[in-house]
Amino acid sequence: MRIASRLPDTFAMMIPTFKSTGKIGLQSQGHRVENGQIIFPDVKIAIKPPLDTICRFLFQPHVFPHGILKPTEIGDSTRLGICIQPKINISDRRWKKKRKSNDEPAP
């Protein structure tokens, strides 16, 4: 089994907020952020977070390179982005187990 397939997923969240108060912003309260898509260029996907929604993502950053396009923040509106990626200690003995010849992937 390859190390990349054993790495944990990353958690990310985007929260629409107001800069001045830090409170969650709703479109009905005038919150407006345009653009700012989360992109996965290798698989040609762009996800646009909805205006009135707290978006949660689980993904494997070591498998899917990603980025966020610069958003256009109107007035007091912004988005708070949070990303939690577990630290991996590759010196841990579990990562150093030798592969058996039958565990090798086929070419």
pLDDT at residue 102, rounded to an integer:
44
Contact 35, 86 (CB under 8 A): no
pLDDT at residue 7, rounded to an integer:
73
- Pairwise CA distance, residues 77 & 36, whole Å: 13
Q: Over its length of 107 residues, how does the chain's per-residue pLDDT go in tens digits?
A: 465 566 778 898 999 999 999 999 999 999 999 998 999 999 999 998 888 889 998 888 878 888 889 999 999 999 998 888 877 666 666 655 554 444 555 55
